[in-house]
Amino acid sequence: MAIKLYKTPDLHKPTLFVGWPGIGQIGIIAVNSLKDLVRAEEFGEIESWDFFYPRKVSIRDGLLEGLEFPSNKFYYQRVNQKDLLFFIGEEQPAEGGRIHASGEKAYQMANLVLDVGLRFGCERVYTSGACVSPVHHQMKPRVCTVTSSEKLRSEVKEYSNTFLMSELGEHREGDGIITGLNGLLLGVAKERGLEGMCLMGEIPDWLSGASIAYPRASRSVLEVFGQIVGIDMDLHFLDKIEEQVEKTVESFYEKFPPEMKEEYDQRKVIPQAKPGAITLQAQIYIDDRFKKGGDGGGESPS
């Protein structure tokens, strides 16, 4: 199980931003976009073979040219005299066919990411994911946060369009679980003495099961990242993909029967505490092609 660093950048207490795929790809789009916007440079990786089965083989004219594994890469950049460190994992290590990270492998992966962060003196880590909520898709998604300390809880208040999990209707006590590595990493970071915060973009509950990206929520998270890093970001690059997804979501919405639409539209004016029957009904309108399918495997020469 190895970390491979191609070079050792000179970093001073960098802030670590970490992203893995998850619901609506909200977190990974946000972290990856921030990494691209600041033009962070790749400098290392965690070797994949201990965590993942290869996803692609290339065989040409009888010769095995190579295997392709999901990547786990580190990047760095200095912005406004602040050092930033990024980790982007293309897949979450999971056991027993689960989608989200689980088991010993996930714990090992989280520790390896933090090993690199700590090596460069990192003191704070940000992860990002989805907050599945009874919200309306036409509303601007807010960013829900969970932090590792009281100090960070008060810091959240400084950022616009954010709220603490305890302020979300059904989670008045702020209890819950952040599934997968975007959550686990925060826990492991806390164990190892790092501060941490998870920024979760809101996604309407009925869309959380569809395997479509939800870039509107990634935009909201990115806006908060901008405040954290202290930079103005041009997020126009998200317009096109947002438009495409909105078109799809609107097409589902248009098919809702009038009484269902009326009930759902209540979400625009009255904050909902719980999903309710509308969530299940709305999910029916999601085309099957957006549901997650199984994976095939193995060569099939013919």
Partner 1 sequence: MGVEKAPVEIYQSPRLRNSSLLVLWQNQDVGKLTSRVADVLKEKLGGKEISEIKPSGFFTFGGVGFKNDLVRMPQSKFWAFEKQNLLIFKSDEPEFEHYHFLNTLLDVSKDHDQIKELYTLNAFPSLTAHTRPRRILAVFNQSDLRERCEREGLEPLTWEGPPALSSYLLWVGQRKEVPGVSLWLEIPFYLSACGDPQAVQSTLSFLDKRFHLGLERGTMDTEIEELNEKIAQLRKENLEMDRYLTLLETGLGLEEEEQLKLAKEVYDVLEKRA
Task: Tell whether residue 191 is a contact of partner 1 (CB under 8 A).
Answer: no
The site map against partner 1 for 60-89 (x = CB under 8 A) is xxxxx-xx----------------------
Task: Tell whether residue 293 is a contact of partner 1 (CB under 8 A).
Answer: no
Q: Which is nearer to partner 1, 54 or 230 (CB)?
A: 54
**What gap in Å lies between CA 216 and CA 182, rounded to an integer?**
19
* CA 73 from centroid of its chain's CA atoms: 15
Q: Which is nearer to partner 1, 59 or 284 (CB)?
A: 59
Helix (H, G, I), strand (E, B) or coil at 271: coil
Binding partner 1 by CB under 8 A: which of 6, 49, 237, 290? 49
Task: Tell whether residue 270 is a contact of partner 1 (CB under 8 A).
Answer: no
Cα radius of gyration (the chain): 20
Q: Please name the helix (run of DSSP H) or strand (run of DSSP E) that holds residue 189, with its range, or none.
A: helix 181-191
Q: Which is nearer to partner 1, 1 or 5 (CB)?
A: 1
Task: Tell whether residue 248 is a contact of partner 1 (CB under 8 A).
Answer: no
Binding partner 1 by CB under 8 A: which of 8, 13, 36, 50? 50
# of chain residues touching partner 1 (CB under 8 A): 30
To partner 1, the closest distance from the beta carbon of 90 in angstroms equals 15
Burial 154-166 (b: 16+ CB within 10 A, else e): ebbeebeebbbbe
The site map against partner 1 for 93-132 (x = CB under 8 A) is --xx-----------x--xx--------------------
* Contact yes or no for 122/195 (Cβ under 8 A): no
To partner 1, the closest distance from the beta carbon of 11 in angstroms equals 23
* Contact yes or no for 45/72 (Cβ under 8 A): yes
* CA 112 from centroid of its chain's CA atoms: 19
* Contact yes or no for 89/181 (Cβ under 8 A): yes
Task: Tell whether residue 277 is a contact of partner 1 (CB under 8 A).
Answer: no
